[in-house]
Amino acid sequence: MSTVTNPKFQIYRSGSEYRYRLRARNGEIILHGEGYTTKQSCLNGIDSVKRNAPYDRRYERKVATNGQYYFVLKASNGEPIGVSETYTTTAARENGIAAVKSVAPTAPTEDLT
Write the DSSP string, 29-96.
Answer: EEEE---BSSHHHHHHHHHHHHHHTT-GGGEEEEE-TTS-EEEEEE-TTS-EEEE---BSSHHHHHHH
CATH class of 8-111: mainly beta
Is pLDDT of 3 > 60?
A: no
- Alpha carbons within 13 angstroms on the beta-carbon side of residue 90 total 4
What are the tens digits of pLDDT across the range 23-68?
998 889 999 999 999 999 999 999 999 999 999 999 999 999 999 9
Identify which of 33, 24, 111 has the alpha carbon closest to the alpha carbon of residue 79. Answer: 33
What are the tens digits of pLDDT across the range 10-29?
999 999 999 999 999 888 99
Instruction: Provide the pLDDT confidence category of residue 5 given band limits of 50, 70 and 90.
Output: low
